[in-house]
Structure 1
Amino acid sequence: MRNKLLSLFLLILPFWVSAQNQFDPMQNDPSVSANYPKGIYGTIEDFENKTPSETSDFTARTNNDSIAYRFSNAAGKNIKDAFAISDGTNLYIRMKDIVKNFDKGSKGQARDGGNYYLKVYRKGAYLYTEDFFTSNMSGILGGAIASAMSRRMKAIIYLPETHKFKLFKNLKFFKFFIEDNYPGLVPQVEQEKGEFEVEVIRRVLSQTAPQ
């Protein structure tokens, strides 16, 4: 019976993931590349100063879900350790550096692994990106199936005042953030029928403005 359930789960999982990602979260959001000249930003300091440490040529490629980007230099060697990369049209930040610079409340989440970059956009007052995460506790308490079922697309913003990234684990955590920073938007933090949590977060963040 357990094997049958596992087989059924593996069959429907691709459709579950596709449904979560069917909406292009960035289609109405401006690129942030205008503030970041084309080049490679080796450190977070380069990124914050908007000054690339290298301006040599590079190329990009994505995986099948078009979320994870990888870059190689003119010699074909992978660029593995730069904090961020701007191609003059889009800005990308390395996922390992995002996780490394999570604020305290964003820890306790597992991701798929790998060394890749995420495309970054402007949503209201914030630099925004997103990736798939799983709660560490779901794997401990429920095993592989529960862990896979808890895999969700989750939103991440950059907080320049603290030099940290904030991951919104769920809508409850996001609502706390909005209550503290944009109390007038609290009524907007409600899921509409058929709406994923990350879609609510995208929608509400787009209404924020620098304070």
Structure 2
Amino acid sequence: MIVQRITLIILLFLSGLSFSQGQPLFESIGYPDGLYKTKEDFINKKPSEIRPLVIKEIALINDTDSVIHRCYFLDKETNKRIKKIFAVSYNGDLYFSNWAILKYKNKADKSLSPASSMNAFVLVTIWGEKYFYAEAGLVNHWQAGLSSGVAAGVGGIVGRELGEAIDNSYPVTTQFGTGVVWDIEAKEFNIFRNCQDFNHFIENYPVEQIDCGNEKFELTRIREIVQIIKD
């Protein structure tokens, strides 16, 4: 198990290094560039539309990585944001929209709102035959003491209010957000709301579960496990 974890850590490091240099570690995620407006278009790997886009990064606190993890997409001709579509494949990278994640999430993932905007997109960083993994900026608006309207409102919440909302909702949330997978077979998103929820998700896989009482629940550990089960 120790050797396996060391190997995975090395792979994740190389993957992160490759991304930071602007080159994907693997050939391609397999989705032609374009807009995927519906879930069906995405499943069939057929872009609904191809048009020139501009990517606008959402700056993350203490993030020095050159990779754009969260962003908006704008129509290059009109300068208007791309809204209410499932995904965008852009220069070989795949991005899911917050709108799609929340619309097509597992029914157990309740009371969630985006910390920024429904029209923001998040980068897929790990992918395989079973799962596509991303990290979205989501908050549980009841735990955070916010109404869903405030958390998901025009422009979202910002500054100290946003930071406190995320901290109150997910104490272990980093600037990269909350782990999310697109389940290819189930055709839905599964959001890892907490340690127990994640352990339930992986309980049928031959992997070591997280000791929720003693082990810190963090994204690094989630990435390691998803790397194992993605295929």
For the aligned residue pairs, the C-alpha RMSD in angstroms reads 3.1
Change in CA separation of 1:47 and 1:195 when aligned onto 2, cut-off 3 Å: same
SS in structure 2 at match of 1:27 = helix
Name the stretch that deviates more: 86-95 or 194-203.
194-203
2-structure distance, mates of 1:147, 1:48: 34
Equivalent positions of 1:60-209 (< 5 A) are 60-65=55-60, 66-75=68-77, 76-114=79-117, 115-124=119-128, 125-140=130-145, 147-150=165-168, 151=170, 152=173, 153-180=177-204, 182=205, 184-185=206-207, 187=208, 189-190=210-211, 196-209=217-230
Unaligned runs of 5+ in 1: 1-22
Identity %: 26
CA contact (8 A) 1:110 1:135 kept: yes
Code of the residue aligned with 2:141 in structure 1: it is: N
SS in structure 1 at match of 2:143 = helix
Other-structure match for 1:50: 45
CA contact (8 A) 1:33 1:86 kept: no
Provide, for residues 17-60 of structure 1, a one-character-per-residue CA deviation record: whole Å limited to 9, x for no partner.
Answer: xxxxxx98961785684410011111111111000011221121
**Higher helix proportion:** 1
SS in structure 1 at match of 2:137 = strand
Change in CA separation of 1:40 and 1:178 when aligned onto 2, cut-off 3 Å: same
Equivalenced residues, count: 182
Once the 2 structures are TM-superposed, how far is the Cα of residue 171 of structure 1 from its aligned partner? 1.5
Larger radius of gyration: 1
Change in CA separation of 1:88 and 1:113 when aligned onto 2, cut-off 3 Å: closer
CA contact (8 A) 2:32 2:92 kept: no
2-structure distance, mates of 1:49, 1:158: 15
CA contact (8 A) 1:31 1:91 kept: no
1-structure distance, mates of 2:14, 2:223: 7
TM-score, normalised relative to structure 2: 0.67
Unaligned runs of 5+ in 2: 1-11, 18-23, 61-67, 147-160
Once the 2 structures are TM-superposed, how far is the Cα of residue 116 of structure 1 from its aligned partner? 0.8
